[in-house]
């Protein structure tokens, strides 16, 4: 019996020839990730073990959630991460001014490669499946233990095949793909399963699209999301990864729980209404919903392609007078390139504010908190009640194109409405 991409990676890292769904396996890890929120408690658990780090080159510490520090508590969390990195000579630690949002930064820095096994004390670690890796979020206890031992255990997940065909229409991107999928199967539709994206439609998706889709696999309950490695992925990796790696491909007779088919050409700009990512409707049907805020950024949509998409709509226009528009590049490198390309100037001329790279508003931390009764269109990944501020506020999830169009229109807008 053949194996899925996910099963092959887990088998290899467990030192086994084959694995099957439901099997418990102990695997070596290629990278352990923690941020300023999860890192401090992970360090507490690590210290209980009383061992040195398993490999200072295979731990990544990224202060990004409340960075730059918003208060004394966040400063203390960041200091704990900084002190640990210095004490153990951690290779991959980024300070303010050099950092970025973790799930944008790590692929950019070449720390993610096909066939690797990556765990992170953050649920959106599954982002790295876009590059053919098995990547998943873990609790801070597991992260702390793995920093000492270099391994952790998994129950091998069964898998759902997502068969992609066709090519997306203009203004349709990866965010619309994943919101459509979550709308089809629900937020528990892939609970503790692997979402394996396949089919000829994969080639029609940019790497930015794939990162967005893999990032939100967890919003369908998935253990991980993973893409095959094609020429586009290889080109992305060639500029960043210097170490050898071995990509995996699913066997022709791999067993899947089910197959979900999506014709990319049939998709339209899509929005997830409060308070679940599965509550999806076409953006064109929501023009009656006025907004107070638009957020473009986050680990889901803070890449250069995302900013380019938003800038194409905003450039030469003005943010609606009733809307606060917040743009957050995913890393300093992206910020710098966006400056060179004129995106930042376009946002500022339009009346948007451009922030340092941070997760801040996504988790209701800072840099865009909502008051009671306010509505935001956001390119982030969750719209649970109170996610971005007051429990009586509302978050509408959308692509950078929809968020930009909505910021200009003052209400939820299909980009085609603004770009007439």
Domain endpoint, select from 263, 298, 324: 263
Is 170 in the same domain as 284? Answer: no
Q: What percent of the chain has a predicted confidence (pLDDT) above 90?
A: 94
Is 215 in the same domain as 82? Answer: yes
CATH of the domain at 367: 3.30.499.10
Distance of CA 323 to the CA centre of its chain: 25
The b/e string for 54-70 (b: 16+ C-beta within 10 A; e otherwise) is: beeebbbbbbbbbbbbe
Structure tokens at 3: 């194996």
The b/e string for 147-177 (b: 16+ C-beta within 10 A; e otherwise) is: bbbbbbebebbbbbbbbbeeebeebbbbbbb
Q: Taking a C-beta distance cutoff of 8 angstroms, is the pair 363, 383 a contact?
A: no
Strands 270-272 and 280-282: antiparallel
Is 112 in the same domain as 259? Answer: yes
Q: Give the pLDDT confidence score for residue 417 in this predicted structure.
A: 87
Q: Is residue 138 part of a domain?
A: yes
Q: Is residue 420 part of a domain?
A: no
Q: Give the pLDDT confidence score for residue 418 in this predicted structure.
A: 86
Domain that holds residue 307: 270-415
Domain endpoint, select from 243, 263, 283: 263
Is 169 in the same domain as 283? Answer: no
Is 126 in the same domain as 173? Answer: yes
Cβ-based neighbour number of residue 265 at 10 Å: 13
Distances (CA, A) of 310 to 154, 327, 405: 39, 9, 8
Q: Where do we find the tokens 């959308």?
A: 398
Domain count, the chain: 2
Is 324 in the same domain as 239? Answer: no
Is 245 in the same domain as 322? Answer: no
Is 291 in the same domain as 369? Answer: yes
Q: Cα(243)–Cα(249) distance, rounded to whole angstroms?
A: 20
Q: Give the pLDDT confidence score for residue 364 in this predicted structure.
A: 87
Q: What is the pLDDT of residues 210-240, one digit of tens each?
A: 999 999 999 999 999 999 999 999 999 998 9
Is 237 in the same domain as 280? Answer: no
Is 153 in the same domain as 177? Answer: yes
Which residues have CB under 8 Å from 132's CB, separation 6+?
A: 5, 114, 115, 226, 227, 228, 229, 233, 247, 248
Distances (CA, A) of 74 to 37, 68, 86, 245, 357: 8, 9, 18, 37, 16
Domain endpoint, select from 248, 263, 278: 263
Q: Taking a C-beta distance cutoff of 8 angstroms, is the pair 67, 101 a contact?
A: no
Comparing C-alpha atoms, which of 125, 39, 137, 29 is closest to residue 88? 39
List residues bridging with 194 in a β-sheet.
159, 224
Structure tokens at 371: 């008051």
Is 173 in the same domain as 287? Answer: no
Is 249 in the same domain as 159? Answer: yes
Q: Give the pLDDT confidence score for residue 274 in this predicted structure.
A: 95
**What string of pLDDT tens digits covers the 420 residues of the chain?**
799 999 999 999 999 999 999 999 999 999 999 999 999 999 999 999 999 999 999 999 999 999 899 999 999 999 999 999 999 999 999 999 998 999 999 999 999 999 999 999 999 999 999 999 999 999 999 999 999 999 999 999 999 999 999 999 999 999 999 999 999 999 999 999 999 999 999 999 999 999 999 999 999 999 999 999 999 999 999 989 999 999 999 999 999 999 999 999 999 999 999 999 999 999 999 999 999 999 999 999 999 999 999 999 999 999 999 999 999 999 999 999 999 999 999 999 999 999 999 998 888 888 999 999 999 999 999 998 889 899 999 999 999 999 999 999 999 999 998 887
């Amino acid at each position: 019996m053949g194996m899925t991409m996910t099963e092959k990676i887990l088998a290899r890292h467990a030192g086994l020839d084959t694995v099957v769904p439901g099997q418990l396996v102990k695997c070596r890890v290629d990278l352990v990730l923690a941020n300023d929120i999860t890192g401090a408690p992970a360090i507490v658990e690590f210290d209980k073990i009383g061992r040195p780090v398993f490999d200072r080159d295979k731990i990544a510490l990224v202060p990004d959630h409340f960075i730059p520090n918003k208060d004394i508590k966040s400063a203390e969390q960041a200091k704990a991460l900084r002190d640990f990195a210095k004490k153990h000579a951690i290779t991959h630690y980024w300070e303010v001014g050099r950092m970025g949002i973790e799930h944008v930064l790590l692929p950019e820095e070449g720390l993610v490669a096909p066939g690797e096994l990556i765990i992170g004390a953050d649920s959106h670690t599954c982002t790295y499946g876009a590059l053919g890796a098995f990547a998943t979020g873990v609790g801070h206890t597991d992260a702390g233990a793995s920093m000492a031992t270099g391994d952790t255990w998994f129950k091998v997940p069964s898998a759902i095949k997502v068969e992609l065909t066709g090519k997306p229409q203009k203004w349709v991107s990866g965010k619309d793909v994943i919101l459509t999928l979550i709308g089809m199967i629900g937020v528990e539709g892939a609970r503790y399963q692997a979402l394996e994206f396949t089919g000829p439609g994969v080639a029609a998706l940019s790497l930015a699209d794939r990162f967005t889709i893999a990032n939100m696999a967890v919003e369908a309950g998935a253990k991980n999301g993973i893409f095959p490695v094609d020429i586009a992925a290889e080109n992305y990796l060639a500029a960043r990864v210097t170490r050898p790696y071995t990509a995996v491909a699913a066997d022709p007779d791999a067993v899947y729980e089910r197959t979900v088919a999506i014709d990319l050409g049939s998709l339209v700009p899509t929005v997830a209404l409060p308070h679940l990512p599965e509550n999806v409707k076409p953006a064109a049907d929501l023009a009656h919903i006025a907004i107070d805020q638009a957020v473009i950024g986050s680990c889901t949509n803070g890449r250069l392609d995302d900013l380019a998409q938003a800038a194409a709509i905003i450039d030469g226009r003005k943010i609606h007078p009733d809307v606060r528009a917040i743009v957050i590049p995913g890393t300093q490198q992206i910020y710098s390139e966006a400056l060179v390309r004129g995106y930042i100037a376009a946002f500022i001329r339009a009346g948007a504010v451009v922030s340092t790279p941070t997760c801040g508003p996504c988790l209701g931390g800072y840099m865009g908190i909502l008051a009671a009764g306010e509505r935001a269109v956001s390119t982030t990944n969750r719209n649970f009640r109170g996610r971005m501020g007051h429990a009586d506020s509302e978050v509408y999830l959308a692509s950078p194109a929809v968020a930009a169009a909505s910021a200009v229109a003052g209400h939820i807008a299909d980009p085609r409405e603004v770009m007439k």
